Amino acid sequence: MGFKVSADTGGTFIDVVVQDAGSEQVIGKSLTTHDRVFTGLARALDAAASNLGLTAAQVLDDTDLFIYGTTRATNAIITRNVARTALLTTEGFEDVLLLKEGGKQDGYDFTRQYPEPYIPRSRTFGVRERVNSEGEVVVDLDEDQLAGVLTRIRDGGFEAVAVSLLWSIVNPEHELLVEKKIAEISPELPVTLSHQIAPIIREYRRTSAAAIDASLKPLMQKHFRELEQDIRDFGYAGTILVSTSMGGVMNIDEVIASPIHTARSGPSMAPLAGLNYSQLEGLGGDMVVCDTGGTTFDVGISRDGSVVHSRDTWLGPEWEGDLLGISSVDIRSIGAGGGSIAWMDEGGLLRVGPQSAGSEPGPACYGNGGTLPTLSDAACVLGYFDPDYFLGGRMTLDVDAATAAIGTLAEQLGMSTQHTAWGILSLASEAMVKAVHEITIAQGLNPQDSTLVAGGGAAGINIMMIAAELNSQRIVLPKVASALSASGMHFADIVKEESTALISTSDDFAAAAVNKVLDALEFKLDEFAKQFGGEHPDYSVSFGVEARYKSQVWTIDLDLPSPRILTDDDHKQLFEAFHDLHERIFAVRDPGSAIEFLNWSGRVTVNLPRVKLDYPRAVKRAAATGASRPCYFGTLGDVDTPVYKPADLEPGTMVSGPAIIEEPTTTLVVFPGMSARVADSGNYLLHIGNEE
């Protein structure tokens, strides 16, 4: 078995992880090159290869599998840097994207601007037709009126079309006919049909998914084709897979056909990595993963050994952003990363994010012309970074530029430069703690009782501050923390989901209809899996349903306790499973109320070959160097702080704070009164007090 290579392209850095046939993983990082992503990817791969004494070309020549993840789709959606897209919907329902689902942040703040729809109203066209909830055609599709609409689209310079007609999930006849007519008039336009991309009840979610998918097609198809061509030109001839928002991977041709699955695909890998690293250290129970990148702070969770998924994935603020509309790993993100810009608001208060300096020009300390103060600049001013050892010495930080950037803000605030830098770090940490609370409370988890796994290049700066505020007792910083999402791809399998809408209730359960739906889902997933290994591929199928108490508005995702509902015991297990889950999340159990089941889903997991992370006990390494430097710790002021390299620390070594541990691609700050212990695996087990 050769190498397995993964690459995660973020807004600031590209992370590459190379794993050999043993258990060793090596990391390479490079600044993201937005014009041609493979340029930066090749640099990161070369950095990783150099740790193995090889070149990037030699590594790829002996690579069996290449997995790629990117934030490009997510960034394009948030910034609206997408294709000029037309939306076709049933006449009279053109405002579905404008109205969203009716929610609002800060309901009593009447000064908030109403959010713009993902596709402007001026680019939304009503189609004269109507299908009812039983699938009966009430109004035939007016082909003459449709022809006029399609002519306007052809002449209007549109680059993609989304089609979302009422009740197409029951009868897709009209959507398919619209697609056929588009192909006749504008065959070059990519089209997304809502009943194919998100066959679920809830009109807004289905329409939003179709709109997002269609708008991404020109951009992401070009991106993936360029990447594939560049990798092939570099000499790689093996399989290319792409990480998806479902927490798995897909063939590159599949994500080109449905690029919506790449939205939030990078962060979706972090919980997978966190789950595996927490299990490696023998830390069971629930898990919270905190991934601090250059642009965002992402939080995900696993419950009972499984990564949690959700259909409530908002890109942008909840209710005001855009809903992805498909099942994805439950990730909450805030604009608080290493590149997040600190600023003073109109009231004279310090703020951090959500704006980011990105990789161009980046934080001031990068020396690329950036002048705005960021979280990374604050860490630099506080003394946490060695300017000559950033990225293992491949990049030199400009401390003077960082000090000048923080100093300008400090003058506005009337504080010292160091006090301002400490305030930036503390404020960012508070925002991160709030993000952890939001996702754990929403899932009925207690972060104090969960394992906290830290990842991302900026994770080590303040993860112990976050853990102290959460009162976490089990904290892991993996050795590959700076590339946690890329590392997570090594634990990923091929995953595909199919869903079907069918309403049934517990007081009149339509078992025959439900089982028929489950049979159809399983048949589709079996056929998909068989393309990966003949008649007997290594795969498994699981089922779930969106359910709620009757008359509730929102649903929760429930895993089916059995693949079919055939006996009275099967019925009882299904209903009890819902009551248990509802009680866990909301602390409410209402066995006297009927349960309503809406959307049924099947998920197939095709297992990929995986190297088990089973580290042998390492031999004793070199003694500590005795290096130290002054670091600023709030009220303690400047403290002479020991600095360690990984070679200084053998497994079992306890490091008491204050201390700095400098990995080549991340820096761990052990604050006063806290401690870190090196595990046999080389990972760091952190404690918010000094471990006895």
Q: Nearest-CA neighbor of 87 among 164, 19, 141?
A: 164
State phi, psi for 6 to the nearest 5 degrees.
-130, 150
Measure the CA–CA gap between 640 and 596, rounded to whole angstroms: 62
Measure the CA–CA gap between 509 and 503, rounded to whole angstroms: 9
**Per-residue pLDDT for 523 more than 60?**
yes
**Per-residue pLDDT for 621 more than 50?**
no
Apex CA 44: angle with CA 42 and CA 48, to 5°?
A: 110
Q: Nearest-CA neighbor of 253 among 264, 261, 263, 241?
A: 241
Write out the two tokens for 579.
């009551």
Note whether 444 and 584 are within 8 A (CB): yes
Note whether 54 and 48 are within 8 A (CB): no
Predicted pLDDT at 141 = 97
The amino acid occupying position 588 is V
Note whether 8 and 266 are within 8 A (CB): yes
Measure the CA–CA gap between 286 and 105, rounded to whole angstroms: 29
Rounded to the nearest 5 percent, the helix, strand and coil shares of the chain are 35, 25, 40
> Which runs of consecutive H residues, i.e. helices, occur in 382-510?
399-413, 417-442, 459-470, 484-488
The amino acid occupying position 645 is K
**CA distance readout (Å), 271 to 100, 245, 276, 590:** 29, 12, 9, 32
The amino acid occupying position 379 is A
Q: What is the mean pLDDT of residues 560-569?
A: 92
Measure the CA–CA gap between 102 and 97, rounded to whole angstroms: 11
Minimum mean pLDDT range among 19-28, 157-166, 174-183, 670-679: 19-28
Predicted pLDDT at 535 = 56
The amino acid occupying position 243 is S
Measure the CA–CA gap between 6 and 273, rounded to whole angstroms: 13
Q: Which CATH superfamily is domain 3-77+221-262 in?
A: ATPase, nucleotide binding domain (3.30.420.40)
**CA distance readout (Å), 273 to 239, 277, 300, 303:** 22, 6, 11, 14
Q: Rg of the Cα trace of the chain?
A: 26
First to last CA, the chain: 43
The amino acid occupying position 328 is S
Measure the CA–CA gap between 204 and 312, rounded to whole angstroms: 12
Domain ranges of the chain: 3-77+221-262, 84-189, 340-427, 494-606, 621-687
Measure the CA–CA gap between 529 and 371, rounded to whole angstroms: 52
Write out the two tokens for 465.
């501050």
Write out the two tokens for 553.
């508005």
> Which runs of consecutive H residues, i.e. helices, occur in 234-268?
252-257
Dihedral of alpha carbons 212, 222, 300, 239, sign = positive
Measure the CA–CA gap between 227 and 14, rounded to whole angstroms: 14
Count Cβ atoms below 10 Å from residue 228 Cβ, excluding itself: 18
Predicted pLDDT at 447 = 87
Beta bridge partners of 549: 595
Apex CA 6: angle with CA 46 and CA 614, to 5°?
A: 105
Q: Check residues 28 and 110 and name the one with the higher pLDDT.
A: 28
Write out the two tokens for 305.
């050994």
Write out the two tokens for 15.
């992370």
The amino acid occupying position 374 is T
How large is the angle between the packed helices 399-413 and 417-442, nearest 10 degrees? 90
- Tokens 């310090």 belong to 350
**Per-residue pLDDT for 615 more than 70?**
no
**Per-residue pLDDT for 316 more than 60?**
yes
Apex CA 490: angle with CA 484 and CA 496, to 5°?
A: 110
Q: Nearest-CA neighbor of 446 among 473, 465, 477?
A: 473
Note whether 421 and 627 are within 8 A (CB): no
Specify the DSSP element, H or E, that contains 47. helix 37-50
Predicted pLDDT at 664 = 86
Count Cβ atoms below 10 Å from residue 207 Cβ, excluding itself: 28
For 327-349, give the DSSP string: -EE-EEEES-STTEEEEE-TTS-
**Per-residue pLDDT for 616 more than 60?**
no
Q: What is the pLDDT of residues 159-183, one digit of tens each?
A: 999 999 999 999 999 999 999 999 9
Predicted pLDDT at 391 = 79
pLDDT classification of 619: cutoffs 50, 70, 90: very low
Q: What is the pLDDT of residues 364-420, one digit of tens each?
A: 999 988 899 999 999 999 999 999 988 778 889 999 999 999 999 999 999 999 999
Q: What is the mean pLDDT of residues 476-480?
A: 92
Write out the two tokens for 106.
């800060």
Of the chain, the percentage scoring pLDDT greater than 90 comes to 65
Q: Nearest-CA neighbor of 366 among 343, 342, 410, 400?
A: 400
Q: What is the mean pLDDT of residues 259-268?
A: 90
Write out the two tokens for 100.
């969203």
**CA distance readout (Å), 112 to 79, 317, 407:** 19, 13, 33
**Per-residue pLDDT for 444 more than 90?**
no
Predicted pLDDT at 156 = 94
- Tokens 């900026």 belong to 458
| Average confidence score pLDDT of the chain | 90
Of the chain, the percentage scoring pLDDT greater than 70 comes to 96
Cα dihedral angle (331, 539, 530, 220), rounded to 10 degrees? 20
Q: Nearest-CA neighbor of 421 among 430, 409, 412, 432?
A: 409
